[in-house]
């Protein structure tokens, strides 16, 4: 490639409050090139991309050092608006859509096509009326570029999570000046088929000369679509290789710095299930969950069993836990341990010691401004009076800080949550580590029935096997009781 690179990042360094998270990062990207950026949770991928995108959080935490050049010119974006104007687009790991707006409205947010009306000629731009037909065409165009079937008129709040992700990508694609697109774990929430469609649209973008930085934990996707793979570990770039010359196994080794054994094939465990009784019985369950409607579902789960529910986005698999836990209107008959479960009553579910790790970790998962200690212990404290010191025969209860710290440290260790201390705020953790905190919170309840929705969404191979192992351990412990 004789042409000057589209993007050069040189010697980028960044610390958060003295904690060095990026050291001497160099990254070069040409027009139409697709780079896969990989690394374990907390390696620094999102931070590097936020620097490139001029994110507020970077400036608010003391900025960065090093140089960024676009088409050989030094840039220093003061905000994402500057980055967008320079042709950089970013799809975030967590959604940034407005739930009450339709897909079209979100795609064209702040850039709505306006029609000159008589009033606007008199009173200026504010009176321009929205040109709906033109907005529709633009939104349709960018949705078509992705080759997926999403309803441009549907409100975001009613959409399954995979479709929301596509809406975000469509928003970036609809910008005419787009030269470089950053995709931070876009496929984490997609089904296989949707992910395949996304890969296809990445190829299309590259053909049109758009450069793409693609972050994902699905390493096969990296090999399928990228020109080169850049691997980060603990804030360093540890390897850069052409995608053609490497393999999933090799990348995994660079990521974790050691061999990771085996894929996710089911481990053979002695089937004690046969003599275990049915503990949960679901009959004719219906759930009214937007985009995830459930009808007439019958399921039996035995004691100590882990039951997997699969399916495409929008087919109702998320509706089942949301319905049983009382978060969405539901009907039918659910019995647990011989007792009928009171549907539409979330408090009762908690009292019966059911727990739920939702797929929506930002929405209902975490208290982002609170510490890990508080996040992990709060539900158990509220629901089960755990981690409280009782005085005067229980008349006075006081937080047991030592017990709270102990349980938090236990899960930090068990799930290898990357953090500075148990007092760190949840929002300061990387996405995958936040996901682990959500699980720890549920484990701390020692639930009798645990629903986990997409527990390994957006976490890396190393963490994935940890989380799955933790799930197995927690059920096995119960089976032995």
Ligand X SMILES: Nc1ncnc2c1ncn2[C@@H]1O[C@H](COP(=O)(O)OP(=O)(O)O)[C@@H](O)[C@H]1O
Residues that bind ligand X (CB under 6 A): 16, 21, 39, 41-47, 57, 61, 418, 428-432
Residue 47 binds: one of Mg ion, ligand X, none (C-beta under 5 to 8 A by kind) = ligand X
Residue 39 binds: one of ligand X, Mg ion, none (C-beta under 5 to 8 A by kind) = ligand X
CA-CA-CA-CA torsion sign (148, 134, 172, 210) = positive
Would you count residue 106 as binding Mg ion (CB under 5 A)?
no
Q: Which is nearer to ligand X, 40 or 172 (CB)?
A: 40
Binding span for Mg ion by CB under 5 A among 27-35, 202-210, 232-240, 428-436: 428-436
Question: What is the C-alpha to C-alpha distance for residues 438 and 432, in angstroms, rounded to an integer?
Answer: 10
Would you count residue 216 as binding Mg ion (CB under 5 A)?
no
Residue 42 binds: one of ligand X, Mg ion, none (C-beta under 5 to 8 A by kind) = ligand X
CA angle 241, 244, 250 (to 5 degrees): 60
Q: Could you tell me which residues come within 8 angstroms of residue 88 by beta carbon, excluding any fewer than 6 positions away?
A: 52, 53, 70, 77, 179, 180, 181, 182
Would you count residue 231 as binding Mg ion (CB under 5 A)?
no
Residue 365 binds: one of Mg ion, ligand X, none (C-beta under 5 to 8 A by kind) = none
Q: Least separation, in Å, of the C-beta of 366 and ligand X?
A: 14
Q: Least separation, in Å, of the C-beta of 211 and ligand X?
A: 20
Question: Which DSSP symbol is given to 97?
Answer: -
Question: Which DSSP symbol is given to 425?
Answer: B
Residue 16 binds: one of Mg ion, ligand X, none (C-beta under 5 to 8 A by kind) = ligand X
Q: Least separation, in Å, of the C-beta of 156 and ligand X?
A: 24
Q: Could you tell me which residues come within 8 angstroms of residue 285 by beta carbon, excluding any fewer than 6 positions away?
A: 294, 296, 297, 298, 299, 320, 323, 324, 330, 331, 332, 333, 334
Would you count residue 434 as binding Mg ion (CB under 5 A)?
no
In Å, how far from its chain's centre is CA 325?
22
Residues 45 to 74 in contact with Mg ion, rule: CB under 5 A: 46
Would you count residue 435 as binding Mg ion (CB under 5 A)?
no
Q: Mark 323-350 as b/e (b = at least 16 C-beta within 10 Å).
A: bbbbbbebebebebeeeebebeeeeebb
Q: Which is nearer to ligand X, 57 or 402 (CB)?
A: 57
Q: For residue 228, list its beta bridge partners.
A: 35, 242
Quickly count: other Cβ atoms within 10 Å of residue 296's Cβ.
9
Q: Which is nearer to ligand X, 105 or 185 (CB)?
A: 185
Residue 119 binds: one of ligand X, Mg ion, none (C-beta under 5 to 8 A by kind) = none
Q: Which is nearer to ligand X, 43 or 212 (CB)?
A: 43
Q: Which is nearer to ligand X, 20 or 329 (CB)?
A: 20
Q: Could you tell me which residues come within 8 angstroms of residue 69 by beta carbon, excluding any fewer than 6 positions away?
A: 5, 7, 8, 10, 75
Q: Which is nearer to ligand X, 175 or 418 (CB)?
A: 418
């Amino acid at each position: 490639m004789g042409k000057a690179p589209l993007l050069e990042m040189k010697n980028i360094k960044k610390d958060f409050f003295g904690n060095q998270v990026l050291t001497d990062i160099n990254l070069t990207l040409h027009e139409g090139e697709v780079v896969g950026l990989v690394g374990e949770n907390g390696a620094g991928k999102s931070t590097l991309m936020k620097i490139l995108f001029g994110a507020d959080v970077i400036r608010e935490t003391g900025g960065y050092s090093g140089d960024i050049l676009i088409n050989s010119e030094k840039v220093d974006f003061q905000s994402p608006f500057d980055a967008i104007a320079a042709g950089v687009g970013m799809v975030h790991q967590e959604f940034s859509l407005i739930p009450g707006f339709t897909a079209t409205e979100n795609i064209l947010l702040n850039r709505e096509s306006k029609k000159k009306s008589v009033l606007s000629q008199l009173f200026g731009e504010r009176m321009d009326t929205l040109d709906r037909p033109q907005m529709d065409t633009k939104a349709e165009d960018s949705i078509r570029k992705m080759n997926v079937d999403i309803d441009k008129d549907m409100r975001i709040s009613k959409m399954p999570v995979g479709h929301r992700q596509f809406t975000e990508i469509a928003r970036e694609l609809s910008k005419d000046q787009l030269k470089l697109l950053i995709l931070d774990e876009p496929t984490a929430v997609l089904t296989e088929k949707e992910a395949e469609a996304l890969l296809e649209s990445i190829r299309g973008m590259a053909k049109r000369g758009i450069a793409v930085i693609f972050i994902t934990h699905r390493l096969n996707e990296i090999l399928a679509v990228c020109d080169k793979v850049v691997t980060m570990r603990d804030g360093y770039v540890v390897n850069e290789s052409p995608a053609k010359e490497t393999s999933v196994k090799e990348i995994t080794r660079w990521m974790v710095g050691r061999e990771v054994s085996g894929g996710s094939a089911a481990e053979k465990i002695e089937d004690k299930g046969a003599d275990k009784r049915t503990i949960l019985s679901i009959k004719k369950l219906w759930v009214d969950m937007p985009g995830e409607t459930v009808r007439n579902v019958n399921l039996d789960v035995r004691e100590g069993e882990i039951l997997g529910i699969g399916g495409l986005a929008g087919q109702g698999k998320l509706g089942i836990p949301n319905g049983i836990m009382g978060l969405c209107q539901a009907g039918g008959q659910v019995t647990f341990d011989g007792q009928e479960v009171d549907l539409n009553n979330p408090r009762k579910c908690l009292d019966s010691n059911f727990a739920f790790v939702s797929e929506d970790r930002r929405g209902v998962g975490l208290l982002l401004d609170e510490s890990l200690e508080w996040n992990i212990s709060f539900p158990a404290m509220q629901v089960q009076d755990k981690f409280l010191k009782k005085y005067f025969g229980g008349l006075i209860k006081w937080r047991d800080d030592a017990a709270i710290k102990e349980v938090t440290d236990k899960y930090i260790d068990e799930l290898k949550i990357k953090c500075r201390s148990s007092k760190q705020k949840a929002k300061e953790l990387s996405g995958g580590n936040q996901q682990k905190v959500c699980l720890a919170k549920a484990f701390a309840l020692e639930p009798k029935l645990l629903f986990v929705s997409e527990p390994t969404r957006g976490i890396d191979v190393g963490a994935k096997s940890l989380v799955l192992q933790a799930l197995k351990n927690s059920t096995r412990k119960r089976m032995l009781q």
